Each structure stands twice: as C-alpha cells, then as structure tokens.
C-alpha cells in the first residue's frame, strides 16, 4: 500500500517521494503516512474500509466547494483503499493546549482558536449540511435511535463491563430506551460532524482547519458542540465552556430558526451520550486492546460526569443510568489512571437543623457535617438577634469564645487531612456542612471562617453557600 501512496504522490507532484514516514495512528484502523520530496509534502491514508474513505473524500470535496477550511484531496487509488491529501502540519488545537504549563491560564491565542472553531462549526452543520449528499454517510445516514443504542451499548459492554462497574442489565436497557426517546425529540436535520474535538482541529498559519469527519451523518446540533467542550483531556475550565456555548448558540441562531430554550433542553443529554461514547472507546482501546494512553482520559471523563450531575437535571427518568454515573463518580480506582491532576473543590454550606441535614446528592457522597449547636449562641442576645454570622459584631463575639476557637481548630485539622487524601486520589469534590439551630449565627460564622482558612491554602477551589431556616 505504501507503493500505491508513492504512485499517487508522483501523479500529483510529477516527482517520486523521497521520504515516507508512518505517523502515529488515532483510534481507528487507518494507516497514515507523510510523504515528502523537498518542499512538497502530502498525507497518505491507507484504509481497507473503502466506504469510510468514500465518505471522507466526498464530504471533503463538498466542504471545499463551500469554502470551508478542510484539506484538499490530491488523489485517490482506483480501488478506493488509499488517498492522498493536503499536509496541514503537526500542530493541533489539542497539542497547543497541552503545551501550556500546568495550572497556567489558557493563552489568548488558544482562546481565539477555540472561538474560531465555534464560529466555523455551524457552517459545517447548517450551511454545508443543507446540500450534503447524505448517501455517502457511513455506517449510517442518521444519528437515529439505532445509532444511539449502538453508542450506549458500546459504553455498557466496553467500559462498564471491562471496568467492572456493576449494573442491572434490564434496568439499564430500559433507561437507555427512555433516554434515546428523549434525545430523539431534538431537531435532527443538520450535519453531525461526529468527532468535533481538539485533536481533529489542525492549526496552520494561526488559523483552524478541520479533519476526521468521515463518521458524519444527519443529527442534532448539540452533539458536536458537546464533543468540543467536553473533550476529556482538553479539560477546559467550566467558565470557558459556558462562554463558548453561548457564542455557539448565538452563531447558530444567525443561520437557523433555533429556539435557545429547546436547544438547552436537549443539550445535557447530548453531552452525556457523547461522554458515554468516548468512554466506550477508552474501554475498547485501553482495557481490551491494552493501549494505556487511552485510559489516561478516564479521570477527566469521570470529572465531567460529576459536574453534570451537580449542575443539570435530565428531564427523563433514568434511575439505573444515574446510579451507574454515581458509581463512576465515587470510584477512586478510575480516577487514578495516568497522571491526571483534576483539582479539588470544597463546597461549604451552613444550614439550620430545623430544615434537616443537607445531603450531598451531587458530589462523591459523604463529606463532613459539623454540629455547632454546642457553641455559645449570640442569637440569644437581643443585640445580635437580627444579625448573621457574616456581620462583624457577631463574628467578633464568636471569635473571642475559646470553645469556638477549639471547635474550629479540630475541624480544620480533620478537613486538612481529608483534603490531602482527596487530592492524592484525584477526587474533585468535598462537601462540608456546618449546622446550628436557626442557621444564622454560629453555622454561618464557622462556614465563613473555614472557607477563608481553606482559600489560604491556594491549591483548592472553595465554594460557599448559606441555607438558613426555611
């Protein structure tokens, strides 16, 4: 097959290739080469799956007619098993992001490329998708119920089973069908790129180019933007994801009649199914085919599921699927593949015991509940009754009490040890609650004091909220 690529190179450039180097493969069975002769260079692809080749070549030619930044197809073999395309270099959006020092903010140059990619995506999905020949799609022309079920079973058998995550087969199957029915309610008349992620966005001359859309088909808009924003190892900050999502919604509404409310109703579901599809790939390539670098993405995927459980509610009842997600989130073993350093957020809440003890329903479960009712109560004194623990007079009162200082000293020691342990195991969430009778004075002061103490560490994020008497 290398000889076929050499023939295609000579056909294109009129001279034989002098250097032929095999490039590192992706998650597919394709073999990719770089062929060079002086300044002349091309990428050669060998793939026995001729229908997949036909899809990529046909889509590429269509996208180029629509003036979209994709590689030019230089030549293809007569039997369809190989083709030659434009060499866009070695730099991807992911490689640029990975070169950033750990913990450093994302440079503006990379943010600009992400924004550029978000602007181009609707042009593929809507403008070019209107006149695309969907008969080229392979292995299926639409991301329909059957395609969705394939992805969910991919997740079930290649990830859950191989990772030894327990589940009830029939209950999970029932949930899959309800989940698919919900997803099918989204508008699905657009081009679905299928693998719109940072590794498939090339960067040349400070501009983005796009590759690897051969699995594209008709489908919902939400899937592709979810692929980009929840690209596991890219590990984009949550604030950036929110910004890019808003930019994307603004862009699609320029070219299609899209209800923002309807789009956002289905968006979390498509984020979940994209994550599950990706985890199926990690299981197949990592657990089954023993390619360990695929396992390195697992901790990031787990953290993404954890974030979704905390911030979204699916408008469909899937109890077994949610139970599986919570089991994944609670797994220390799955969080420790590779060298991921996910960062820990400590969520602190004050509460009133009259309203009940808060449960950590969206984190790892557990955490700490500190009972402040044994501490001196400034709320019994008329001058403090209408104040809270955030008011300076109440804070000064409690700060002077030896019992309060001793209580907080013990709480700080307990939390410091737990935080160090959680960080070493790549857990990303710790819930801490302080309660008193009315949830206004002692619990609020202790929560605020603990938050200030933990922020001084500098190695964790701290969130605080107050749930007073109902």
Burial 32-53 (b: 16+ CB within 10 A, else e): bbbbebeeebbbbbbbebeebb
Give the whole-angstrom CA distance, residue 359 versus residue 247: 35
C-alpha to C-alpha distance for 252 and 123, rounded to whole angstroms: 9
E-only strand ranges, 239-394: 345-352, 368-371
Please state the φ and ψ torsions of residue 350, each to the nearest 5 degrees.
-95, 155
**Residues constituting the chain:** 470
CA distance 145 to 183: 9
Those residues with Cβ within 8 angstroms of residue 191's Cβ, 6 or more apart along the chain or in another chain: 124, 125, 126, 128, 129, 132, 216, 217, 218, 219
Radius of gyration of the CA atoms of the chain, in A? 27
What gap in Å lies between CA 98 and CA 203, rounded to an integer?
14
- The CA–CA distances, whole Å, from 174 to 23, 124, 152, 324 equal 43, 34, 12, 14
- What local confidence, expressed as pLDDT, does residue 362 receive? 66
DSSP per position, 269-291: HHHHHHHHHHHHHHIIIIIIT--
pLDDT of residue 43: 98
In this chain, the answer to whether the domains covering 2-86 and 93-335 adopt an identical fold is: no
Distances (CA, A) of 156 to 296, 336, 352: 19, 21, 42
d(CA 470, CA 468): 6
Pairing of β 207-210 and β 190-192: unpaired
Provide the terminal-to-terminal Cα distance of the chain, rounded to the nearest Å: 72
**Sequence spans of domains, the chain:** 2-86, 93-335, 345-467
- The answer to whether 389 touches 448, Cβ cutoff 8 Å, is yes
CATH class of 93-335: alpha beta
142 class by beta-carbon count within 10 Å (0-12 exposed, 13-18 middle, 19+ buried):
middle
pLDDT at 29: 80
pLDDT in tens, the chain (470 residues): 789 999 999 999 999 999 999 998 666 789 999 999 999 999 999 999 999 999 999 999 999 999 999 999 999 999 999 999 999 999 999 999 999 988 789 999 999 999 999 999 999 999 999 999 999 999 999 999 999 999 999 999 999 999 999 999 999 999 999 999 999 999 999 999 999 999 999 999 999 999 999 999 999 999 999 999 999 989 999 999 999 999 999 999 998 888 999 999 999 999 999 999 999 999 999 999 999 889 999 999 999 999 999 899 999 999 999 999 999 998 989 988 887 778 899 999 999 999 999 987 666 667 899 999 999 999 999 999 999 999 999 999 999 999 999 999 999 999 999 999 999 888 889 999 999 999 999 999 999 999 999 999 989 999 999 998 75
Tokens 């695309």 appear where?
A: 132
DSSP letter for each residue of 221-232: THHHHHHHHT-G
pLDDT at 203: 98
Write down the pLDDT at residue 363: 67
Give the CA count within 13 Å in the CB-facing half-sphere of 283: 23
The hierarchical CATH code for the domain 2-86 is: 3.30.200.20
Q: Which two tokens mark 287?
A: 């657990």
What backbone phi and psi angles, to 5 degrees, belong to 330? -80, -5
CA distances from 39 to 89, 100, 427 (A): 13, 30, 49
- Residue 300 DSSP code: H
Q: In sequence order, what E strands does 39-125 have? A: 40-46, 73-76, 82-86
The sign of the dihedral angle between the CA atoms of 328, 332, 333, 335 is positive
**Sheet arrangement for strand 368-371:** 368-371, 429-436, 345-352, 461-467
What pLDDT shows up at residue 470? 54
């Amino acid at each position: 097959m290398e000889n076929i690529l050499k023939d295609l190179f000579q056909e294109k450039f009129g001279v034989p290739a002098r250097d032929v180097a095999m490039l590192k493969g992706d998650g597919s069975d394709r073999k990719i080469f770089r062929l060079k002769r002086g300044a002349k260079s091309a990428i050669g692809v060998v793939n026995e799956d001729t229908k997949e080749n036909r899809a990529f070549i046909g889509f590429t030619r269509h996208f180029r007619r629509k003036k979209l930044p994709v590689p030019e197809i230089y030549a293809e073999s007569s039997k369809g098993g190989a083709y030659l395309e434009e060499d866009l270099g070695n730099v991807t959006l992911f490689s640029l992001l990975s070169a950033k020092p750990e913990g450093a903010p994302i440079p503006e140059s990379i943010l600009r490329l992400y924004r550029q990619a978000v602007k181009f995506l609707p042009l593929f999905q809507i403008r070019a998708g209107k006149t695309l020949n969907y008969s080229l799609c392979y292995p299926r022309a639409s991301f329909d119920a059957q395609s969705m079920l394939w992805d969910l079973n991919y997740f079930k058998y290649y990830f859950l089973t191989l990772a030894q995550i327990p589940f009830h087969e029939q209950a999970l199957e029932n949930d899959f069908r309800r989940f698919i029915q919900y997803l099918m309610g989204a508008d699905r008349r657009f081009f679905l790129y299928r693998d719109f992620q940072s590794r498939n966005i090339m960067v040349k001359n400070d501009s983005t180019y796009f590759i690897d859309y051969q699995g594209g088909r008709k489908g919902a808009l939400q899937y592709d933007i979810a692929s980009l924003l929840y690209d596991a190892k890219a590990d984009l900050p949550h604030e950036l994801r929110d910004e890019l999502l808003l930019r994307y919604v603004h862009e699609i509404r320029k070219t299609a009649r899209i209800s923002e409310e309807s789009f956002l109703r289905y968006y979390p579901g498509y984020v979940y199914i994209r994550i599950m599809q990706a985890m199926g790939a990690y299981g197949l390539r990592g657990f089954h085919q023993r390619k360990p670098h695929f396992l390195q993405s697992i901790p990031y995927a787990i953290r993404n599921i954890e974030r979704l459980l905390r911030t979204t509610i699916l408008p469909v009842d899937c109890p077994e699927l949610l139970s599986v997600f919570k089991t994944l989130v609670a797994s220390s073993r799955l969080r420790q593949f590779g060298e991921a350093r996910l960062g820990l957020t400590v969520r602190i809440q004050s509460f009133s015991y009259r309203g009940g003890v808060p449960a950590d329903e969206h984190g790892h479960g557990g955490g700490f509940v500190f009972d402040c009712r044994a501490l001196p109560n400034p709320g019994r004194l008329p001058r403090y009754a209408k104040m809270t623990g955030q008011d300076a007079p109440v804070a000064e009162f409690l700060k002077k009490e030896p019992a309060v200082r001793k209580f907080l000293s013990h709480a700080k020691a307990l939390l410091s040890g737990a935080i160090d342990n959680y960080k070493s195991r790549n857990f990303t969430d710790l819930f801490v609650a302080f309660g008193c009778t009315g949830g206004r004075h002692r619990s609020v002061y202790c929560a605020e004091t603990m938050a200030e103490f933990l922020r001084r560490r500098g190695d964790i994020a701290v969130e605080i909220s107050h749930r007073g008497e109902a």
